[in-house]
Structure 1
Amino acid sequence: MASLLEYLLNRYADKTATPEEKSALMRLLQESSNEKTVQQVLDKMIAERPVTHEMPEKTAQAVLQAIFEAEETPVVNIDTAPKRRMPYWRIAAAAVVLLMVTAGGLVWMNNNSQTQVAEAKIKNDVAPGGNKAVLTLADGSTIVLDNEKNGVVAQEGNAKVVKLKNGQLMYAKSDEQAADVNAPIAYNTLSTPKGGQYNIELPDGSKVWLNAASSITYPTAFDATERKVQVTGEAYFEVAKLVTVKDGKRVPFVVDIKNKENGRDLGQVQVLGTHFNINAYDDETAVKTTLLEGKVKFVGKADSILLAPGQQAVASKKLSINETPDVSQVMAWKNGLFHFENADIKTVMRQVSRWYDVEVVYKRSLDNDDPLFFEVTRNTNLSDVLRVLNLAGGARYTIQDKKVIVQ
């Protein structure tokens, strides 16, 4: 029976299961006589990708039912006759596993979720974002990096601009014979569009990951007194340690945070050797700087905050500190995930809009919607994300051209 169960699960995951096979899989997951075998198979699958959040019992059957209905397959009725069935928590685990193997994600239903889950209406589909960026050189010329071959794409001052594989850009020193010691420092800007992301290694060895609709402006060579860059949108930094040759003092690293639309100053991060994330999108309510490792100081208009690892500076109308931010949610984008816990639909859809370069239109009030708890890979089509979001919150979604309609 174990081999049959694994076969049916794999058939379903590959989207090759027939309606009869889906019905057989549902029956196997429910029959109490199969509980031990089902448990062994599910434990094996869960061990490969641990499930740490439980799904409430009252929604387990509805979610499992919705999974089978997600592609307009014939409804598989769940037998409600008064005979012993497998515990609901086990059916919930089955639902979670099915979501993992089919949509690449994990959904956690909250206690107030509706028992009836609406179907996501997908008329058109949108591919996920990818490694896309535009490099603006010191003379104002631009290079669309996703169209360029790997290798040297430009010469800026005494630095060669090199495109590497997998969406990476780096700056390498020119040969000493070609270097001009009197050449002025050139500034470049790396910008990602909606639906784009990119990774850059700065001239000092610091690494920066740009999320969609973001930018970083930086010199092509840093001097010995200060390293300063400007960012818009969202970026994750791993700052390299750099000390002066003369006295061995650390060279400061400073990040000026700018409003993308009007260039207004939103704050400054003074780095003392660290890993941190800055979220400063124009459409968010606050600028958030989250520290993962080391130490940084966030400087606002009137005051400043010194952060320790695991803390977050929140700059809105006033500057405050979040002692316990959800770091996994903050870093989800860099790890290739959408990850939300207790999030409202507009927060979720802002990220979806940036990554898939779509407009979101709301056709109903969202005042009474339950908070959302879900995780799904960003490396999937928009329809798959909406399917998981649909299960997590019960809303209806339609894709029309480059718009997502929330109904």
Structure 2
Amino acid sequence: MSSSLEYLLNRYADKTCTVEEKEELMRLLQESGNDEAVQQLIDKMLEERPETHVMSGKTAQAVLQAIFEAEETPVVKMKTTPVRRVSFGRIAAAASVLLLLTAGGWFLLNRMSKTPVTTAAVVNDVAPGGNKALLTLANGSTIVLENAANGVVAQEGNAEVVKLKNGQLMYKTAGGKPEGTSTDLTYNTLSTPKGGEYKIVLPDGSQVWLNAESSITYPTAFDARERKVQVTGEAYFEVAKLVTAKDKKRVPFLVDIKNRKTGGNIGQVQVLGTHFNINAYEDEKLVKTTLLEGKVKISQLAKNAKQEVTLSPGEQALLGTHSPLTTNRSPDINQVMAWRNGVFHFEKADIQTVMRQISRWYDVEVVYKRDIEQDDPLFFEVKRNTNLSDVLKVLNLAGGAKFSIEDKKIIVQ
């Protein structure tokens, strides 16, 4: 049994677990006969992964105190074994294994409580975001997509705009104009509000996922010379390969990164590959373009010269208003792609970074009633389809500040 636990614990910590393996790990963690084996393995992991899995003493102590005081704190729905007391040493070890704190650690927490895990009613709770977007057509008219019926929602030129059952938008073009035809392009804009996300299949077959409070502007039909779109906020792209009919040259795909408030051009991404993520929110210090597959070139127009960097998979370009264009060779891809994978995932994140994401997804205001500058970084992972109250329970157990809901506000104190 210990060999299976060790294998699954390491798979989970390395973030390579399949869904079936996670379920098996959770089952083994719940079995009462595995306490000693789990503690030994956690101790071993602490020795082998000191830099990744160590909390500061202040944070670990806050986590432990919260655990011991969590007599009736529901965190997530799950089946639990009869409640039993667990040694302080084991909980202390579990509190230090960051990734286990986000999953297996909850089993330890719940088994320490005097009451079974239940789902409690929370006053002023806020539901998670969902498929919400506004489509602005070429003539300026708008369609609220969550209220629109599935099927054809508009006709733009020779393209049908179709809302699919799975909550995404697709452009279906009948026929097409001959290559090289000069024509005025018409544009549509898909924009998500706070608490919204949406997927669109562009006229060339490229797929784009928009995070909350984001937008993409695009032609209803691409010409043969280039494909250019404009984005604000955060978007993940999987670009379709498109070549000219005449000489089989690849048709360029360009992304202009815009400032949502001013409309100014921040930079441009030239797509030489396929899969990449752009985070360009105005309230973030840097615009981050992260490449997962293929190759992209990022350009920034500085005062005196044009700066460019070319990314390889696993690299990230950092672009600031008052700083030079730089490259991060080893960004945390799991954190970058967490929103696309349906989770909040933070490692060594400050409270304000966490709150900005939560504010966008739940469409709430954040009010700080304490000095947070000296707080320890936060480490946690929770699904984005979770009610806000349960997310705040995780944060309250992560140590440091305390979080509560008042109307549509998160109070940090």
> What TM-score, normalized to structure 1?
0.76
Alignment partner, residue 292 of structure 1:
292
In structure 2, C-alpha distance between the alignment counterparts of 1:66 and 1:380, rounded to whole Å: 23
- C-alpha distance in 1 between matches for 2:204 and 2:210: 17
Corresponding residue number in structure 1 for 2:142: 142
- The one-letter code matched in structure 2 to 1:100 is A
Q: Which residue of 2 aligns with 1:347?
A: 353
The answer (yes or no) to whether the contact 1:192–1:210 under 8 Å persists in 2 is: yes
Task: Find out whether 1:100 has 2:106 as its counterpart.
Answer: no
1:75-154 aligned at under 5 Å gives the runs 87-88=90-91, 100=103, 123-154=123-154
Instruction: Name 1:173's counterpart in structure 2.
Output: 173
1:307 to 308, 311, 316: 311
Cα offset for 1:124? 1.3
1:234-383 mapped onto 2 (5 Å cutoff): 234-302=234-302, 303-316=307-320, 317=322, 318-383=324-389
From the superposition, tell whether residues 77 and 244 of structure 1 become closer, same or farther in structure 2 (CA, over 3 Å). Answer: closer
Map of 1:22 onto structure 2? none
Aligned to 1:118: none
> Given the alignment of the two structures, is residue 155 of structure 1 paired with residue 155 of structure 2, yes or no?
yes
Give the % identical residues. 63
Query: What's the C-alpha RMSD, in Å, of the aligned pairs?
Result: 3.5
Q: Distance in 2 between matches of 1:102 and 1:370?
A: 19
Q: Which residue of 2 aligns with 1:209?
A: 209
Alignment gaps of 5+ in structure 2: 1-28, 41-48, 76-82, 110-120
> CA 1:135–1:324 in 2, change beyond 3 Å: closer, same or farther?
same
1:10 — aligned with what?
none
Inter-partner Cα distance in structure 2 for 1:321 and 1:373: 24
Change in Cα spacing, 1:38 to 1:320, as seen in structure 2 (3 Å) is: same
Is contact 1:55–1:89 with CA below 8 Å preserved after alignment? no
Q: Using the TM superposition, give the Cα deviation of residue 403 of structure 1 relative to its aligned residue in structure 2, in angstroms.
A: 0.8
Q: Per-residue deviation at 1:323?
A: 0.8
Q: Secondary structure at the match of 1:300?
A: strand
Q: Write the deviation string for residues 136-168 of structure 1: whole angstroms up to 9, x where unpaired.
A: 000000000000111110000010000012221
**What is the SS of the residue equivalent to 2:394?**
helix
**How many residues of Structure 1 are paired with residues of Structure 2 in the alignment?**
343
User: What is the CA–CA distance in structure 1 between the aligned matches of 2:196 and 2:99, rounded to whole Å?
Assistant: 30
Q: Contact 2:133–2:196 at 8 Å: present in 1 too?
A: yes
Check the 8 A contact 1:344/1:372 in 2, yes or no. Answer: yes
The equivalent residue for 1:68 is: 71
Distance 1:159 1:292, change over 3 A: same
Q: Which amino acid aligns with 2:345?
A: H
- Whole-angstrom distance in 2 between the partners of 1:94 and 1:283: 31
Output the CA distance in 2 between the equivalents of 1:95 and 1:258: 36
Partner Cα separation in structure 2 for residue 94 and residue 369 of structure 1: 19
Q: Higher relative contact order at CA 8 Å, sep ≥6: structure 1 or structure 2?
A: 1
User: 2: CA distance between counterparts of 1:151 and 1:232?
Assistant: 27
Instruction: Please report how far the alpha carbon of residue 401 of structure 1 lies from its aligned counterpart in structure 2 after TM superposition.
Output: 1.1
Structure 1 residues 123 and 170, CA gap change in structure 2 (3 angstroms): same
Distance 1:37 1:287, change over 3 A: closer
| Pairs within 5 Å for 1:35-46 | 36-38=33-35
Q: CA deviation at 1:54?
A: 5.0
For 1:36, give the aligned amino acid. G
Q: Residues 165 and 406 (structure 1 numbering): CA distance in 2 closer, same or farther, change over 3 Å? A: same
Distance 2:98 2:84 in 1: 15
Q: Tell me the alpha carbon deviations over residues 303-345 of structure 1, each in whole angstroms, 9 at most, x when there is no partner.
A: 0111111110000122111111101000000111100111100
Post-superposition shift, 1:393?
A: 2.8
Report the 3-state secondary structure (helix = DSSP H, G, I; strand = E; otherwise coil) of the residue aligned with 2:71.
helix
Partner of 1:225: 225
Kindly indicate whether the alpha-carbon contact (under 8 Å) linking 1:64 and 1:95 is maintained by their aligned counterparts in 2.
no
Q: What secondary structure does 2:391 align onto?
A: helix
Alpha-carbon distance in structure 2 between the residues aligned to 1:332 and 1:216: 20
The answer to whether the 8 A contact 2:280-2:286 is kept is: yes
Q: Give me the TM-score of the superposition, normalised by structure 2.
A: 0.75
> Alpha-carbon deviation of 1:90?
7.2
CA apart distance, 1:40: 7.8
Q: Given that residues 126 and 383 in structure 1 are in contact (C-alpha distance below 8 angstroms), is that contact kept between their aligned partners in structure 2?
A: yes
Return closer, same or farther for 1:93/1:39 CA change in 2, 3 Å cut-off: farther
Aligned to 2:23: none
